Amino acid sequence: MTTDWKKEVAARKDDLLSDLEALLRVKSEREDDKATADAPFGPGPRAALEKMLSFGERDGFTVKNVDNYAGHIEFGEGDETLGIFGHMDVVPAGDGWDTDPYEPVIKDNKIYARGSSDDKGPSIAAYYGMKIIKELGLPLSKKVRFVVGSDEESGWGDMDYYFQHEEKPDFGFSPDAEFPIINGEKGNISLLAHFSSSNEGSYTLQSFKSGLRPNMVPGSATAKVTLPAASDFAEFEVALNAFTDEHPVTAKATQADATVTVELVGKSAHGAHPSAGINAGTFLALFLDHFDFAGGAKSFLHVAGAYMHEDFDGKKLGVAYNDEKMGELTMNASLFHFEDGAKEATINLNFRYPQGTTAENLEAGLEESIGSYGVTTTREPHHMLPHYVPVDDPLVATLLSVYEDHTGQKGYEQIIGGGTFGRLLERGVAYGAMFPGYTDTMHQANEFMDLDDLFNSAVIFADAIYRLAK
């Protein structure tokens, strides 16, 4: 008997949407200042993890919470385990929302909230795929385990801890990208550029801050500058207005005697696609670089404005690389921090790099291009190497076949700069939940997921899980 997956999902639409809305109301941003032994990434990620696991308990699955780092929802029997990897943490909401980012709103057949497309919506769709199979009592020859993470957007400390206590599934997928499939992911590393925080010019850079996470293009930036004299403010403001007239940013300056606070707004985007954003940090540095700063402040502003600004492929920094299969390296200048008189200033450079180059090559390129400005670099600890599962692997072939059967569209392999939990397994990929042609709002204001895509992905996930585990 053939299962009508679309009918089964349709019968559960209201329940699926209700569960998703409950998850979206949890503000699951990582908050290190509120972390405890019982909430290693802060109260929000823990609450969202517990909420997701509670669905599994309600629906009669075997559920395990691994010390509030991660957990899993499991059913089935067999010697092999199919793993599905989702995450409940989200990047900070940031500014620019038309609605409350943690009160889901449905309009124009889309659900708006932080996490709706990354990754609470896709996770719920995959969970309901499991739920349908269980409720129908369909026979399986493998275990199916949904692993729920709570630190995917930061350092993957959740999975490091989880796999110290639990065995890895044999193969699987993460519903945290797009269809038809993502079977290759570029390497991912952040290098920290270190500068002196000295000031020696007639202008003084008191502070410069921009960015929320390494995997986000900074959507806003703020600098506090002391002018040579309070009377110089008029000329400074004229220059700022001319700058915003010529560039796709907005800005305002407020004066307190000779000190000026400049706030500049660009557009946030996913760090894997830096060209899709408008980097407020590099634009503000580009503007300020025209004034009489000197010392470490000058190096900080000049390197950010001349070498990092719109250097999406790393050519200015001397690290550009292209691989025939995996494509080009990308660079996102993500976190900027300068405080006058502090020990040092830093800029975080997040690289997504293809096979064929290395972290050592990136460090060498930076040394050659910007080392003369007194810049040194160090590696951030979270480093992911390039990952690829061949298109003829049975896992990839099966998932593509399911996609083709339900969409009527030809499946094809894809390689991305984003990093998903699919790469946790040697035979792991990302699969859905966004369909070709979708509007990417991940890590942006007004993030949404189309409801038709949500329900259609649940149909595909249900069939895919069953074919892989039956």
**From 21, 89, 185, 450, active-site residue:** 89
Q: Pairing between strand 433-434 and 177-178?
A: parallel
Which of the 8 DSSP states describes residue 59? T
How far is the C-alpha of 429 from the C-alpha of 414, rounded, in Å?
10
Q: How far is residue 283 from each of residues 31, 225, 308, measured CA to CA in Å?
A: 28, 16, 10
Burial class (CB in 10 A: 0-12, 13-18, 19+), 375: buried
Residues 421/149, Cβ–Cβ less than 8 Å:
yes
Nearest partner of 222 among 288, 284, 302, 294, judged by Cα: 284
Q: How far is residue 467 from each of residues 106, 137, 144, 395, 461, measured CA to CA in Å?
A: 33, 14, 12, 10, 10
Q: Collapsing DSSP states into helix, strand and coil, what is residue 431?
A: coil
Give the length of the chain: 470
Residue 77 CB partners (closer than 8 Å, separation 6+) = 140, 141, 142, 143
Q: Is 152 a catalytic residue?
A: yes
Handedness of CA 172, 175, 181, 187 (dihedral sign): negative
Tokens representing 369?
Answer: 């291009």
Residues 399/208, Cβ–Cβ less than 8 Å:
no
**From 29, 152, 340, 463, active-site residue:** 152
Amino acid letter, residue 75: F
**Count of C-beta atoms within a 10 Å radius of residue 191:** 21
How far is the C-alpha of 135 from the C-alpha of 142, rounded, in Å?
17
How far is the C-alpha of 75 from the C-alpha of 130, rounded, in Å?
9
- Torsion from C-alpha of 351, 357, 361, 365, nearest 10 degrees: -60
Residues marked as catalytic: 89, 152
